[in-house]
């Protein structure tokens, strides 16, 4: 699968500075963002006034996204043959975005007054755009459309809200589980993972699968940055690292998070998993070639495996549980609108369609993720099942239903500065080069001082 298609749903990772400097094993791993003014304003104009097309007038709404040609064709099909049939006065036109500099492109279009009516962003980038007073506030529409809003999976809208305002709707949801090679597990005497397996189970599997003599780890791709460790610690009863998805006022390193860090650092030290600076460029191709036992990765790889690896005997298991509960990363991409829309009523109808029904057409052709709107998510599960991978469909369904979702990255324009403060000492501790687990407490204080100075 072409890189553009394979990574379309995680394009946000290419627009956001994250804390991770080394290990490239999740959607939060790359680091590049335009400079941005993070100051929020309390005086946003109401751009959703009762303005609509005159009766009988046919209007055209424009959409910009970063998706593949194949997905855009499926989206246009949904617009032409579903949405415009239901709304005969509205036509929808897709204007493809530039994959390499999407965020800059959208900023430029908005500044030049050429913004589309709807465009795609990751949840953290949406928060940044809203804080800069660039987006329509949909709060009144949301309040008046409770039946539709109640249809979203628990917590998936949270990343599109700031200080009680809703500025976007989630479309697709990334979840992170374990891809495994069934033959390699069987040869090691290991059963296929169950839906209720634990972190201890995963680490036991990894210990048995590692082979230092062949320079093979037992588990690849585990998100070992502080956000990845948070899923482990919270599942054991710990506190989240950040206190809010979109309005972080402090970070917390508690004893459970320290325990998780020490555990994972130990797995790095004994060669069970790669270290923080491990080069991940070839890990997907290694798994697809049948050379890897387990890979922690996002569900979008399901589509690639179905297309490209028909003879590979693979499965997909949900993220493990802790002794208290399951916890998953929050990572959505969705849809927003610029301020001062000419047709806010019609655009709101399109926004709703694009975060729900549209994917019932799209995901039959490109099953990269489940839709955030529950009624429209079944098409992903069914498409994956129809391709012979019921375990993968059930794994994603299980993870979508997890109520505790932790931030996968900061949604703040100071994230780059936080990474510079955090990464060097954190990476050195995790890789056993210097520091103690109490280093994390010191680093948290530095980040909190940075936040307080904003």
> pLDDT tens digit string along 66-107?
999 999 999 999 999 999 999 999 999 999 887 678 988 998
CATH of the domain at 231: 3.40.190.10
Measured N-to-C along each axis, helices 390-400 and 378-386 cross at an angle, to the nearest 10 degrees, of 160
Report yes or no: 381 and 393 within 8 Å, Cβ to Cβ.
Answer: yes
Quote the Cα angle for 254-257-261, to 5°: 140
Whether residue 274 is found in the same domain as residue 183:
yes
In the listed set 348, 366, 396, which residue is the last one of a domain according to the structure? 396
Total H helices, total E strands in the chain: 19, 13
Which one, of 262, 279, 273, lies nearest residue 296 by Cα?
Answer: 273
Q: For the segment 4-52, what is each residue's pLDDT rounded down to a tens digit?
A: 444 444 444 434 333 333 333 333 333 322 333 333 333 333 444 445 6
Range of the domain at 285: 176-329
Quote the Cα angle for 359-117-9, to 5°: 40
pLDDT for the residue 52: 63
Q: For the segment 249-279, what is each residue's pLDDT rounded down to a tens digit?
A: 999 999 999 999 999 999 999 999 999 989 8
Whether residue 199 is found in the same domain as residue 158:
no
Between 87 and 53, the higher pLDDT residue: 87
Nearest-angstrom CA–CA distance, 207 and 201: 10
pLDDT at 399 over 70: yes
How many CA atoms lie less than 13 Å away from 362 in the CB half-sphere?
Answer: 27
Alpha carbon separation from 211 to 188, 208, 224, 266, 271 (Å, rounded): 11, 8, 20, 16, 9
pTM for the predicted model, two decimal places: 0.88
86 in any annotated domain? yes
pLDDT at 1 over 50: no
Handedness of CA 418, 423, 429, 431 (dihedral sign): positive
Whether residue 140 is found in the same domain as residue 202:
no
Whether residue 138 is found in the same domain as residue 168:
yes
Whether residue 298 is found in the same domain as residue 200:
yes
Q: What percent of the chain has pLDDT over 90?
A: 84
Whether residue 248 is found in the same domain as residue 373:
no
Whether residue 103 is found in the same domain as residue 63:
yes
pLDDT at 348 over 50: yes
Whether residue 243 is found in the same domain as residue 260:
yes
Handedness of CA 161, 162, 166, 168 (dihedral sign): negative
200 in any annotated domain? yes
């Amino acid at each position: 699968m072409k890189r553009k298609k394979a990574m379309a749903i995680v394009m946000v990772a290419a627009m956001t500075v994250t804390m991770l400097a080394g290990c490239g094993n999740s959607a939060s791993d790359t680091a590049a963002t335009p400079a941005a003014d993070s100051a929020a304003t309390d005086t946003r104009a109401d751009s959703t006034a009762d303005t609509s097309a005159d009766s009988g007038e046919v209007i055209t709404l424009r959409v910009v996204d970063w998706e593949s040609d194949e997905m855009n064709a499926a989206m246009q099909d949904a617009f032409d043959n579903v949405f415009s049939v239901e709304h005969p006065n509205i036509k929808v036109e897709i204007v493809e975005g530039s994959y390499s500099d999407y965020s800059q492109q959208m900023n430029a279009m908005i500044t030049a007054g050429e913004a589309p009516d709807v465009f795609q962003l990751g949840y953290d980038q949406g928060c940044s755009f809203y804080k800069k007073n660039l987006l329509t506030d949909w709060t009144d529409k949301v309040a008046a459309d409770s039946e539709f809003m109640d249809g979203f999976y628990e917590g998936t809208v949270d990343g599109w809200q700031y200080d009680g305002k809703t500025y976007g709707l989630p479309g697709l949801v990334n979840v992170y589980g374990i891809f495994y090679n069934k033959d390699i597990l069987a040869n090691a005497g290991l059963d296929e993972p169950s839906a209720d397996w634990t972190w201890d189970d995963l680490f036991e599997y990894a210990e048995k699968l590692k082979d230092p003599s062949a320079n093979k780890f037992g588990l690849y791709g585990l998100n070992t940055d502080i956000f990845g460790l948070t899923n482990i610690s919270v599942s054991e009863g710990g506190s989240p690292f950040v206190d809010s998805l979109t309005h972080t006022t402090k970070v917390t390193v508690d004893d459970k998070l320290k325990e998780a860090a020490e555990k994972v650092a130990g797995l790095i030290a004994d060669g069970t998993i790669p270290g923080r600076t491990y080069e991940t460029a070839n890990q997907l191709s290694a798994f697809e070639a049948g050379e890897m036992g387990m890979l922690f990765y996002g569900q979008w790889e399901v589509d690639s495996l179905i297309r490209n690896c028909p003879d590979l005997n693979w499965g997909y298991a949900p993220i493990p549980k802790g002794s208290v509960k399951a916890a998953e990363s929050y990572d959505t991409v969705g849809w927003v609108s610029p301020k001062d829309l000419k047709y806010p009523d019609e655009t709101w109808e399109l926004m709703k369609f694009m975060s729900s029904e549209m994917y019932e057409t799209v995901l039959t052709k490109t099953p990269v993720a489940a839709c955030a709107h529950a009624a429209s998510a079944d098409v992903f599960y069914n498409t994956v099942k129809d391709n012979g991978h019921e375990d993968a469909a059930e794994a994603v369904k299980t993870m979508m239903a997890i109520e505790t979702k932790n931030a996968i990255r900061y949604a703040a324009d100071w994230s780059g500065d936080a990474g510079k403060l955090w990464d060097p000492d954190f990476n050195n501790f995790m890789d056993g080069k210097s520091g103690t687990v109490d280093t994390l407490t010191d680093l948290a204080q530095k980040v909190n001082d940075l936040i307080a100075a904003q």
